[in-house]
Chains A and B, each alone.
Chain A
Amino acid sequence: GAGVSQSPSNKVTEKGKDVELRCDPISGHTALYWYRQSLGQGLEFLIYFQGNSAPDKSGLPSDRFSAERTGGSVSTLTIQRTEQRDSAVYLCASSLASGTGYGYTFGSGTRLTVV
């Protein structure tokens, strides 16, 4: 596609429910990243995929968070048993390859609200 597409754009869920957030990267981009942006805060790294390699999960805040990337393209971020502190904008980005020197293209994000 022309850009990174994320869905849904907004999600309101009840505390304790599971949610799935979807990211469709730019065609041909092999690297995909998930970040979390809390209100008025910077971007917190969550997880990174590069091709078929094992993902770098070092930023996931707890074992309630998981992500997968099927066929090297679309990625899904899953949050189980959501808590109010999970409320944030979840941003996905993709780049041509991993390694330094490759700028990211971000999607518009999914705004998650846990009530």
Chain B
Amino acid sequence: GENVEQHPSTLSVQEGDSAVIKCTYSDSASNYFPWYKQELGKGPQLIIDIRSNVGEKKDQRIAVTLNKTAKHFSLHITETQPEDSAVYFCAVTTNSNSGYALNFGKGTSLLVTP
């Protein structure tokens, strides 16, 4: 199956700074790249996604960039706030006949300190 690597596993930033999380994948046919945020005791929640025909997408303080040639995509959070503290997961899916389940990275635990 698709191999998804996510870095870093933990990230600590001061409030107001930017945070960047990067994921790499192995299947060049992959074409959908969502990011999820998981708060303690809750299920992951979709925060932003990007398709393979787009290089960048922004939604207020969060953005995702995609480099299909290098097979990596990144989550950027600007002006971080304490409520951004959570575990973030990247995921990849490929349009194949074997199914469409998302393959997730192992997650990044983000801590934003006041």
Contact = CB atoms under 8 A, between A and B. Distances in A.
A65 B58 CA distance: 40
A69 to B, nearest CB: 15
A24 to B, nearest CB: 13
B46 A103 contact: yes
Contacts of B14: none
Interface residues of A, number: 27
Nearest to A93: B43
Interface residues on B, range: 20 to 34
Contacts of B89: 42-43
B41 interface: yes
A1 interface: no
Interface in A82-115: 91, 93, 98-109
Interface string A1-24: 000100000000000000000000
- Chain B: interface secondary structure? strand
B100 A103 contact: no
Interface of A: 4, 31, 33, 35, 41-43, 45, 48, 50, 56, 58-59, 91, 93, 98-109
Contacts of B61: none
B2 to A, nearest CB: 10
Q: Which of B42, B44, B45, B100 has the most CB of A within 10 A?
A: B100
Q: Which of B34, B44, B99, B103 has the most CB of A within 10 A?
A: B99
Given A42-B89, A42-B105, A99 B44 contact: no
16 contacts: A42-B6, A42-B106, A43-B89, A48-B101, A50-B100, A56-B101, A93-B43, A100-B32, A100-B95, A101-B31, A101-B32, A102-B100, A103-B34, A103-B46, A108-B41, A109-B43
